[in-house]
Chains A and B, each alone.
Chain A
């Protein structure tokens, strides 16, 4: 007996018992629909996360920062370190997070903004490819600026496109050594006069007195220097044309400045003195190099740097090399693995709920098949008298239950897919009404369809195994005697 004969016979039997077959199929269909619609939510969320990672090119990005360790000396993340990382195999580009506190003037508006310096190479990455309007900075020396979309309103503009071509003045207040020294000597006459008032000839031979005087005067001088250094700062300005508007990103790892300026502009600001930016000041004081802010580029350390890997580069060796150089490494790829792991468990939990429903439906299959076999006992006897063996009978009933599972699963997939589409439509409408950029919450990939059909089939075959075996063990003599 060929498989085709068995399938045709089974379909005929199911068609003959239409109502019973329909009810059993419905049970399977509802269970599979629940399975598909629930998993489509988990899969949709996972795909959405993956899409975001891919869109920003995060899987090829590593972030490097200095190690925060008390026991070992911290290796500074400076130009030398960046140059070393750039030579590692598989590294395409390294750029630091270099930010300045600036003041932006446009028309009547004046506001504070953080300016991030990025080279055109760095701007080529996917992270900055999704512009709300305009284009990226054309060269490292261009008098251009990119602004974040949240600046538009602050500058009194209506839209991103309206901002394009507008000129803004970006200023930085810088402090120089002169103002610090001037602050010390500017107050010197007053200070000498004050000391003279307290002067006592007997104290000349008192060592404790001298020690106190030196300590007090040194503290005073340092205080005056810092005060002068920070307060009496020059204003350095540059006029830049807005060439593009980028989406503002929050979050520790992906934060972008309010402004993105080309390196030449950033150099102009930093070479004029110290900006007073706490990071830079700390770095300057730490290295002790306050006299020449630009002559030794290694005096500038960065809080973090971004490493872009070549498309075919492996993450692990690069990570190991950077860590060996004494830095902390953060990888979005690792984070993505965590997310994927989370979704695996999430989907497993959702799938289990669907499978429980399928298990219940399988009891319906067992019931249907047992009833069918009881009713068709004589027919089984006739089949055997005509030459069917146990294997034929077992196959016939397994195929019948398998078809119930497969057809039920097919309709379940259609229903589940429809549910996910309706839910997605409602979700998107809600997101739009809330002003959120709509994204796809549900997804029914082809593999999910295959898994659902397979589950339907496998569970039905398992459910049909006992009844089919029972049918195969029918005693033909007793069955034919049965009236």
Chain B
């Protein structure tokens, strides 16, 4: 049985909206094992993106425990959480979140700025990963000059270039047409096949079933069901 990479214990994330408390994530116990492809599915507002942000160290839980191996992520300093994101995590977003004034290569190199990669190595690795993902002729292109599918490929390249332990993808095909969605799904599956742990948030159950090993359904902040494929 693969070792546990991430584990949550009764994790909660509440927001205060005026007099109301919104329970975005409410007492979730979840374990992510090394090398698995897990999809978090659910409708809008089910708490799947919030949970993903907590797992990625971008957001802090209101209560509960989050273990990375034997370390408590919820007890880490801001600096340590930043180091966790810089070295161990790759993130992919629905709206790509590329820096608009940087070229494709510049966006990839940006990811290596924070994990102490030497300057000359940054360039080499950026060119190498973009070439591997079929974007060798797009190195100097700004995001605005790329198609949606190409932008998401650049975003995936940015996540992969750090050689992370785990990829968190938040609706990675949400802004793409069917053809590009299939491409991106195939690309993620390929990375998983190469040994990478992937956690994907999607509202598209078909996509989840196509690429995942395990599907966790969320509803109103709770785990509503789990399915192993």
**Interface set of A (CB-CB < 8 Å, partner B):** 1, 5, 9, 16, 378-379, 381-392, 476-477, 480, 483
Cross-chain contact of B101 among A16, A390, A477, A483 (Cβ < 8 A): A16
- Chain B window 61-94, contacts with chain A (Cβ cutoff 8 Å), 1 for yes, 0 for no: 0000000000000000011011101110101010
A483 x B95 contact (CB < 8 A): yes
B97 touches A384 (CB 8 A): no
Whether A387 lies near B85 (C-beta < 8 A) is: yes
Give min CB distance, B70 to chain A, whole Å.
Answer: 21
A477 lies within 8 A of B97 (CB): no
Which of B59, B87, B98, B99 lies in contact with A387, CB distance below 8 A?
A: B87
A388 touching B53 in the complex, CB below 8 Å, given contacts A1-B113, A381-B97, A477-B58: no
A382 touches B83 (CB 8 A): no
In the complex formed, the residue of A with least CB distance to B99 is A379
- Can you spell out 13 A-B residue pairs with CB atoms less than 8 angstroms apart? A9-B113, A382-B99, A385-B56, A386-B86, A386-B91, A386-B111, A387-B85, A388-B86, A388-B114, A389-B81, A390-B82, A477-B53, A480-B58
Q: Which residues on the A side are within 8 Å of B181 (C-beta)?
A: none
Q: Secondary structure at chain A's binding surface: helix, strand, loop or mixed?
A: helix
- Contacts A384-B82, A386-B85, A389-B78; is A480 near B97 (CB within 8 Å)? yes
Q: Bound complex: CA of A9 vs CA of B122, how far in Å? A: 15
A387 to B162, CA, bound (A): 11
Which residues of chain A are near B113, meaning CB under 8 Å? Answer: 1, 5, 9, 386, 388
Closest to A9 in B: B113
Cα(A480)–Cα(B155), bound, Å: 14
Asked if A388 contacts B82 (CB within 8 A), the reply is: yes
Contact between chains at A385 and B101 (CB < 8 Å): no
Q: Contact between B82 and A389 (Cβ–Cβ < 8 Å)?
A: yes
Interface size of B by CB at 8 A reads 27
Which of A16, A384, A389 is in CB contact (< 8 Å) with B58?
A: A384
Whether B110 is near chain A, meaning CB under 8 Å from some CB there, is: yes
Residues of A within 8 A of B79 (CB): 389, 391
User: Which residues of chain A are near B180, meaning CB under 8 Å?
Assistant: none
Per-position 1/0 for B101-118, Cβ under 8 A of A: 100000000110111000
B114 touches A390 (CB 8 A): no
| Min CB–CB distance A273 → chain B (angstroms) | 95
B72 to chain A, nearest CB (A): 18
Tell me which of A5, A9, A385, A392 contacts B91 (CB under 8 A): A385
CB < 8 Å neighbour of A392 from B89, B101, B114, B119: B114
Shortest Cβ distance from B106 into A: residue: A12
- CB-CB under 8 A from B119, the residues of chain A are 5
Q: A389-B78, A477-B58, A477-B59 are in contact. Are A382 and B114 (CB under 8 A)?
A: no
Give the complex CA separation of A9 and B110 in angstroms. 10
| A480 nearest in chain B by CB position | B97
